[in-house]
Amino acid sequence: MVAVNFGEPVASGAALAAVVRRPVDDWQAAIRLSCSLLEKNGAVTVVYADRCIAMVEEHGPYIVLAPGIALAHARPQDGVIRLGVSVATLSEPVSFGHNDNDPVDVVFAFGSPDNDQHVELLSKLAQLLLGGLADRLRDAEDDATARSLLEEVTQDE
């Protein structure tokens, strides 16, 4: 039996999704775009994007963790159904109001159903970013290419 799942969990059980070179008006729309991918995958509910935006409004644009790269997320109780990570690259970068790391054109979002499940995933994502994942995503010309790049977060060494 071969199960074929598109946009479904892979190895680690994380929901994955990616889109590339999308136009958005502002940072809120960028977060909504990435969160909408998690929503389509059934990883988060419709309130999650609002909560992610509220986190930035409350605590500042700290989710812009390196030049050009944002990692949006909220808390498990903010509507996370299961572990998921998504990424959207933007056709035009947007400003998050970060003094050093603006403008942003690679926007990740993740949701974790508890305080532990995402640790391994983010650890792998950190490694991949150090290895140049953001530039490979920027170069990706279609969604499928970006999604297969993102799949590396669920793969072992």
**In angstroms, what is the minimal distance from the CB of 146 to other proteins?**
20
Chain position carrying tokens 């598109």:
6
State the binding string over 21-60 for other proteins (x if CB under 8 A, else -). Answer: ----------------------------------xx-xxx
> Using the rule CB under 8 A, is 63 a contact of other proteins?
yes
- Greatest C-alpha distance within the chain: 53
State the binding string over 98-117 for other proteins (x if CB under 8 A, else -). Answer: -xxx--------x-x--x--
Asked whether 36 and 45 are in contact (CB, 8 A), the reply is no
> Using the rule CB under 8 A, is 79 a contact of other proteins?
no
> Using the rule CB under 8 A, is 123 a contact of other proteins?
yes
Q: Does 98 qualify as catalytic in the annotation?
A: no
Distance CA 66, CA 50 (A): 23
* Nearer of residues 8 and 114 to other proteins, judged by Cβ: 114
**In angstroms, what is the minimal distance from the CB of 104 to other proteins?**
13
DSSP string, 97-152: S-TTT-SEEEEEEEE-SSSSTTHHHHHHHHHHHHTTHHHHHHH--SHHHHHHHHGG
Which of 39, 19, 14 lies closest to 123 in space, CA to CA?
Answer: 14
- Name the helix (H) or strand (E) containing 18: strand 15-22
> Using the rule CB under 8 A, is 67 a contact of other proteins?
yes
Interacting residues toward other proteins by CB under 8 A:
55-56, 58-63, 65-67, 71, 73-75, 99-101, 110, 112, 115, 118-119, 122-123, 125-127, 129-130
Active-site residue list: 73
